[in-house]
A and B are shown apart, each in its own frame.
Chain A
Amino acid sequence: MNEQLSIEVTDLTVAYGEKPVLWDVDLSVPAGTLMAIVGPNGAGKTTLIKAILNLIPTAAGQVLIYGQPYTEQRHRVGYVPQRGSVDWDFPTSVLDVVMMGRYGALGWFKRPGTKERQMALEALAKVGMQDYAPRQISQLSGGQQQRTFLARALVQDAQVYFMDEPFQGVDATTERAIVELLKELRAAGKTVVVVHHDLQTVPEYFDWVTLLNVRRIASGPVSAVFTDENLRLTYGGRVAFLERNGNGVGEQGDRGVGESAVASHISPTPPRPHASTPQPRR
């Protein structure tokens, strides 16, 4: 295993007014890891990513990327925001959006040229979207939008990636294609952090996992921390109830887990880490 830590977060705290959204979160992620962040709605998963990327003000905390402060390592970090965070009726083409991934490397005032266009086309080919380059982005399906965003992240050519729900609203085929892509990135020694919703697929897709509910409940290799006990702590007792009764009627959790939608994300029997070991790490 690569001993170098790609992401080190200490004491990260975010509050909106009086209400803490993230409380004292620590993370240490080794390089070459595929890590999921899971937790109920309102647990602060998106907030965690945005706080790490310095997109929202933090109350306390420090973020190191490969041992250096994030602000000095920006060029080594790629970001895939939630698909729904932008206006897909914006007058621009798929190729244009993907080239935006090069804007950081280009710096001020310089316009993208042949080299950037070439890189964007290659990235589009990697996500199977090469034929869509000249398309107006409003004509894309949800899965195609997601793959466009992934291509944009690929041209960033980063070492560490943060992806906010890349599987949201995509069909099974696209999901598999994205997972393959993530594994390729890992094979190339990159670190990918993914906000994820489907607990069932965690052991299959990821080798590390962080369980989050305002506080960090647990973080580490899936085989070690993706346990019933930790899930119960994260989702507030509800998982255990589901397990015993085998139906979707959960009791109210004590951590402000309100929406019944959460219940549907949880499989009736959470996968036992011992039964299904994650795929061997490279």
Chain B
Amino acid sequence: MDFFQLFHDLFFDYTLRTVALGAATLGIVSGALGSFAMLRRQSLLGDAMSHAALPGVVLAFMLTGLKTPLVLMLGATVAGITGILLMVAINRYTRIKEDSALGIVLSVFFGFGLLLLTFLQRNPDARQAGLNKFLFGQAATLLTQDVVTMAIFGGVALLLMLLFWKEFKLLSFDRDFGASLGFPMQWLEILITTLLVIAIVIGLQAVGVVLMSAMVVAPAAAARQWTNRLGWMVAIAAGFGALAGVSGTLISSLGSGLSTGPVIVLCISTIVVISLLFATNRGLFWRWLYQQRNRRKLHAKQVLSNLYLMASQHAEPTHPHAITALKVMGAGERGVRYSLQVLAEEGLVRPAQGDQWALTPAGVDAARALLHNEA
């Protein structure tokens, strides 16, 4: 399948279009709400929630015998919220700290969910087939009714986020100050956490419980690199989430039997790596480049003053010296030749016979000014 064909199918192939729409929806919602989770330092909470949702999905099916998305999502939501409440309770009433409580809830719920899954598989009941997709996600199985349910839940979550924008910003930045203004911070906390649960639950079928937390953390982390404004951060994170969702779905649709979850996560990871390295202002690559440039500037200055100091032993300040002598002078073995070339381009030094270098009259002035400043 060539690229053009794929692009064509994205809009006109019913299955592919449905699947891409679903992936975009989950990317937008988890990216946007994940930004708030990250700023409130609760990224890991998403991990616990998504793992905790697994037994909810299986139990919902066992109790109702239905596989409609609404029923399964409700089950996942209830289990996810139960997990959070348990974590809060463990944290409050025992001496176990938050990170350990998170680990306990995550593994116990996930283990229980796996147990239920294997139990179901032994049952000779064909209807349960397909629940496995909640582990690693299978976007190809998304139907129109799934996507519609996702869009409704996600849309409501995003609307509430926009409605409470100012309050959520206050909660994320300065909770105590918000409380002193009279806003019920605890209720806002519960609300935003519930929205995060919704964001996770709508992505479970496509991405799976194991990797869904990446869709909460990664788009936000990547977006933070590109902007210093909350509004832009949320918008960019939503965009990145959608991009990863759609591209991951397309790639996994090319190969047969590729789970969508891992592919989508690889896509968003690529976006994160690129953002960490090349984002304007914050990118590591630019910072490295800036440091190198500074280092070279310093090195060139050092070579210039060394040349001047050596020449001052002679009558003529433009007396040439061997490059080996400059290397010994301790400006660092490496890069002496490069620094000399840079200085030569600026007209401060000139090459002489036999790998020797000398200051030009302009170079003498520059070196004097340099040493004078340092003194």
Assess whether A172 is interfacial by the CB under 8 Å rule: no
A86 near B174: Cβ-Cβ < 8 Å? yes
Chain B residue nearest to A111 in the complex (CB): B166
Tally chain A residues at the interface, Cβ within 8 Å: 30
Is B166's CB under 8 angstroms from A91's CB?
no
From the candidates A81, A92, A97, name the one contacting B176 in the complex (CB within 8 A): A81
B166, B172, B224, B227: which has the most chain A beta carbons within 10 Å?
Answer: B166
Residues on B with beta carbons closer than 8 Å to the beta carbon of A1: none
Interface flag for A108 (CB, 8 Å) = yes
Q: How far is the CA of A85 from the CA of B179 in the complex (A)?
A: 14
B165 within 8 A of partner (CB) = yes
Which residues of chain A are within 8 angstroms of B41 by Cβ–Cβ distance?
87
Residue of A nearest to B233 (CB): A91
Interface size class of B (residues with CB under 8 A): 20 to 34
A19-54 near B? 1/0 per residue, CB < 8 Å: 000000000000000000000000000000010011
Query: A104 contacts B165, CB within 8 Å?
Result: no
In the complex, the answer to whether B180 meets A77 with C-beta atoms within 8 Å is: yes
Quick one: which of A91, A100, A108 contacts B227, CB cutoff 8 A?
A91
Chain A contacts for B182, CB-based, 8 A: 71, 74-75, 104
A85 and B180 contact, CB distance less than 8 A: no
Least CB separation from A110: chain B residue: B166
Q: Nearest chain-A residue to B173 (Cβ)?
A: A90
Contact B180 A79 (CB under 8 A): yes
Q: Which of B346-372 contact A (CB under 8 A)?
A: none
| Inter-chain contact B176/A85, CB cutoff 8 Å | yes
Cβ-based interface call for B170 (8 A): yes
In angstroms, Cα B178 to Cα A128, docked, is 25
CB atoms of A85 and B228 under 8 A apart: no
Contact B174 A100 (CB under 8 A): yes
Contact with A along B28-45 (1 / 0, CB 8 A): 000000000001010000
Scan A201-235; emit 1 where CB is below 8 A from any B CB, else 0: 00000000000000000000000000000000000
- In the complex, besides A86-B173, A92-B169, A92-B173, 13 extra interface pairs with C-beta distance below 8 angstroms are A55-B176, A74-B180, A75-B182, A77-B180, A79-B177, A90-B172, A91-B39, A91-B224, A91-B227, A100-B173, A110-B166, A111-B165, A111-B166
